[in-house]
Structure 1
Amino acid sequence: MKNTTKWLTGAALSLTLAVPANAQVLFWSTQAAPIEETQKMRENVLAGFEGGVDFQPQEVGPFITRLEAELEAGSGQIGLVGALHGDLSTYADSWADLSGLDLAGITVSDAFLELGKLGTSEQKYLPWMQANYVMAANKQALEYLPEGADINALTYDQLVDWAQAMAEGTGSPKFGFPAGPQGLKHRFFQGFLLPSYAGSTVTKFASAEAEAGWTMFQELWQYTNPASTNYAFMQEPLLTGDVWVAFDHIARLADAFNQQPDNFVAFPAPAGPMGRGFMPVLAGIAIPKGAPDMDASMRLAQFMMQPETQVATLLATNFYPTTDAALPTDLPASAQALGPAITAMTSAPDALPALLPVGLGDLGGQFNQVYTDTFERIILGGQPIRAVLDEQAGTLRSLMEQANAPCWLPDAASEGPCPVD
């Protein structure tokens, strides 16, 4: 996989941003719904679009009600839709193809562009903005990096070696993990560990490859601060020095970088045999096939991907660009540190996105619990990996069948419930 794709198609949909629209484009969105974010989107992000934008963020219920009514009718007033990947994927057949849209050399992650095709040959949505999970390290930890290791291209085996070297060199375990009751540990197993080792979140849950991933994590746990079972936000133990290297959501690391910007570095999650698994919270923009002014909608889609617009969106929403937009130097220290780490991870040659669960409805909590229980039984309880995986696979299989939820990436598409081998 190439690192990035440059949009220089010169195809029929090549448009110029200066052409004025005949009327305001209705931008129907599930994102930037809080009042403060909505105001910033209108005043700081969209005000410069010629022709005007009527930005209308909605809660998911009202958003879906109107969207479905217009899609069913084949026409309506919505000109641009902004929503999370899972919402957009539900209506894949209803979006116009954006493959030929000329973005004048803007560089977007190949992995995200592929997600935006929604399993088709067409570009059904453009990656708009993202949040993510990354690694953070106290600069004191860098002297213990394994020889030849690149912090921006680590493997999990190198992370284990690094954690071991820190523990032996300092006399105490310095790796930290958000394993507390409110920690996001389940997202690590769903979006990072299993995809990196098995290329799967669901189907190969109990595979030999998954077993190898848990074996690695079992070894890593030997060098993990035992207080990790109480950690929810890793920024706190990083600031106290109890932990030198940690994994967490960017929002739960930000304070460490803002309070002590000179003491920490951010970097991508490691890679396993199948690639560099990561779990983006990815929002995209799509255009309904029945949009009232397709040219204006296309121009707005272009506008949303421009570097200046992407940076303005970051400042308005705290979601990061999906492009290689240069970040200004006056951003908060956390944004300056975390943004490049996200870009390095999502544009890596071995990038392997693993989406948030889709189609589980009110069974989402039980789905997450399967991964938490597996962690607690194997890592905390010391139970045999193979026996635990086989038993938990049965629970996972029943949940998928009860929810009738098809597979999502990185698992292959399925007809009917996602299978658990």
Structure 2
Amino acid sequence: MVRKVLMAMFVLLYLYSVAYGIFMTSLFRIPAPFIFGIPLLLFFKEEVQGFAYKSEVLVLVTAVLIYYGFAQSDIKNAIANSIVITFCAAYFNYFVGSNYRRYSISIFIFFGLLFFSCMVMVFNHFFLYPAIQLRTLLMGEQIQQTPSGVSLTIFTFGYQLAALVSFLPVYTVVFKKSLLLKAIALSACLAFVYLGMNRSVLVTFVVSNFLFLMCYYNYKAILIVGVAALAGFFLYSYVITKSAESTDNIITKNAGSDTRYSRSGLVAENLNIYADYPYGLIFYGKNWDDVIYRNQVFGSGITSHNAYLMFFTYLGPFIGLGLLFLIYRKMVGPLKYAIRNIRSPDHALLVCLFFAFVGVSMNALSHNGWLVGADGPTFFLYFSLLHFKRLNVPDTSKKQMITHKVKLETSPV
């Protein structure tokens, strides 16, 4: 009993640090993966043969060291990112192993933490100062932006939100939940997106769920999307616009935003810089500060808020494209497997995780965090997708066939 309690505590704390991006705080001066991850790997690991993610970790750590350590001379960030990515791979390899129960529990704890962060965000809208105190306590650091969830900034929270709203509606469909539960899940996601103040999340929510509907329902998805669009139009016209000014939300943020710092404008300026240094800043001995000093848009120190474009800007087409190919080619297998088995109950969780990964990957088109940046939801989903094929997944379809056969045999003639 004590062993199970300790294991549950360390799992919760480790996933807490991953979901919320906690590495070191003013209270804990030792990296969280060492404090919460090592006990799981030493005392509660599964019996496994070797380390299955050598090539994946090697590619990711190489990308981290080149991009942050060499190109940006940010050694501390490079080491920290390498540690959290490596420990996540070790968590799945040694602690989860082939144990489907541990795998599914880890997934649901992780998304439960993301849901809790969204509830804190809602609380933050209506009870500002108590929410800031709560968020500071949960993060162990001073909060930088508000309103938000369990994160230091609104942008970091955006990745948590993107993962959740891409996962939850898909989960209710593939696990065949009731119509009422589907409606509740969709309404919660819409409320989180509305109050979350991340325009990129709105785009990822629409695109990831649209792609899922097209894959799951085929041509029937057109009718579903049409009805949803019509309902959204009436909701926006007669409900949202009348109450938009009552609280901070995605609409008021968009109305008050400075057009100079629009994502399209920032990307256009970044492309101009890339055109001046087509082989990548790393080959010209330059960094971001060296090439933006004449640019008023980037004068405040911001970037284009496009993780992939910044990666290309620093590393150029040769190293950049090569590393991106090596990183994301591992997602081709889960993609084919998820689409091929999208209606299979044995692969329902894989389908949910895949579209959640699509959501957070798309979100990186408008922000700096991504897989190489050790964004928690992104690399957790990455390794959870890679790990699915190593599991002893319960064959629920066979169980359903046996149950159906028993009912037929025992039913009266």
The interval holding the TM-score normalised by the smaller chain is under 0.3
More helix by share: 2
Q: Which has the higher contact order (CA 8 A, sep 6+)?
A: 1
Q: TM-score normalized by structure 1?
A: 0.24
More strand by share: 1
Q: TM-score normalized by structure 2?
A: 0.24
